[in-house]
Structure 1
């Protein structure tokens, strides 16, 4: 019975994801999700109380991945006494960003641009706040003082870059690789200069 319930839940989430991606969150109705999933509308409410709950289920893998990444920094797994500006570190970061963006491209678009009026509408600000806190702690570890506003601008810029990528549907992976590689190089040079001050 549990397998059957998981199958029904999965059908609801998959149908909702498809419709959210195609039509947007606000323009997708529960009736459409019902029709596309083959699950009677009344039964959907046995699995999800609201459409917002379904959106959260659709975005759960993305939110979990972001949460794990943030937690690894918060727990001090990346404690260092100096910043690693090596070309290899830049390549590794680029590879990680590309994998993440292309794995969750549609979900990122939903989260950043389709979550107004949902429980996730403040994600961008909450994420930036968390990044600022992590960055402050990190800079304290390496003995560098940087303006809190700069941390905020830097975190916001990264969210904007990701937003530009996910909102441009015809971008090829190679174009994204080049642009992100250039920005990582640019950003790294800036951090190196700040650390010297």
Structure 2
């Protein structure tokens, strides 16, 4: 009895990732993907419903990793945090570098989501991700106001705008193909640019 070729799926994913990165979802060719994976189109359609289904399979691990991080962050009960924890949550250096390290480990999938997803269910990924981040961030901010740690007045819409600007500075190095050393230097610039303690009205340290 012939053994199933278990190398087919990894070959498809690898070939599809390269094609989507090179041409974006809309211009990507299933024919090219199949040729480079050395399979027939019939073999591909046995595994995936079509091009979008294949794109989603390519980014699945990255999406799962991002969702896991966000679920962990959203599970934090801000009411149980100390005053110091609420304020230091806005410190930039360590947390921003952590995000860059995490995203760099998932850089191909992340780049597909932020640059190559037009035409898929992830077309609005950049906006949707910021919106999720805004929800939890604003919850932190409201708790600081409730405890009179700040008297700054910032609406949820303003928080979304600020975080959109912040996350654009996160996205762009990946779009421009920065290496890790460049990203570390870029991280320092971001931390100098975004002084959340001042914006949110926390005392200077």
Q: Could you say which TM-score interval applies, normalised by the shorter chain?
A: 0.7 to 0.9
**Which moves more between the two structures, 100-109 or 8-17?**
100-109
SS of aligned partner of 1:25: helix
Counterpart CA distance in 2 for 1:76 and 1:94 is 19
1:112·1:163 contact (CA, 8 Å) conserved in 2?
yes
- Alignment of 1:176 with 2:191, yes or no, is no
Higher relative contact order, chain-length normalized (CA < 8 Å, sep 6+): 2
Q: How many residues align?
A: 192
Q: Deviations over 1:83-131 (max 9, x none)?
A: 2169xx6443243123123222232222112211111112222212211
Q: Any runs of at least 4 consecutive aligned residues in structure 1 with deviations exceeding 4 A, and if so which?
A: 3-6
Secondary structure in 2 aligned to 1:195? coil
* Equivalent of residue 131 in structure 1, options 115, 130, 133: 133
For residues 153 and 68 of structure 1, do their structure 2 counterparts lie closer, same or farther at Cα, with a shift above 3 Å needed? same
- TM-score after normalising by structure 1: 0.83
Mapped pair 1:108 → 2:110: yes
Alpha-carbon distance between aligned partners in 2 of 1:133 and 1:142, rounded to the nearest angstrom: 15
Structure 1 gaps, min length 5? none
Is 1:147 aligned to residue 155 of structure 2?
A: yes
Residue 36, structure 1, aligned to residue 36, structure 2: yes
Higher-Rg member (1/2): 2
CA 185–77 in structure 1, closer or farther in 2 if over 3 Å, else same:
farther
Q: Which residue of 1 aligns with 2:196?
A: 190
| Equivalent residues of 2:87, 2:202 under 8 A apart | no
Shift in Å, 1:193: 4.7
Unaligned stretches of 5+ residues in structure 2: none
Q: Which residue of 2 aligns with 1:122?
A: 124
Query: What do you get for the CA RMSD once the two structures are aligned?
Result: 2.6
**Structure 1 residue 18, shift from structure 2 partner:** 1.4
Task: Confirm whether residue 80 of structure 1 aligns to residue 81 of structure 2.
Answer: yes
Query: Using the alignment, how far apart are the partners of 2:201 and 2:4 within structure 1?
Result: 56
- Per-residue CA deviation, residues 36-81 of structure 1 (Å, 9 max, x unaligned), is 1122111111111011111111111211121111111211167633
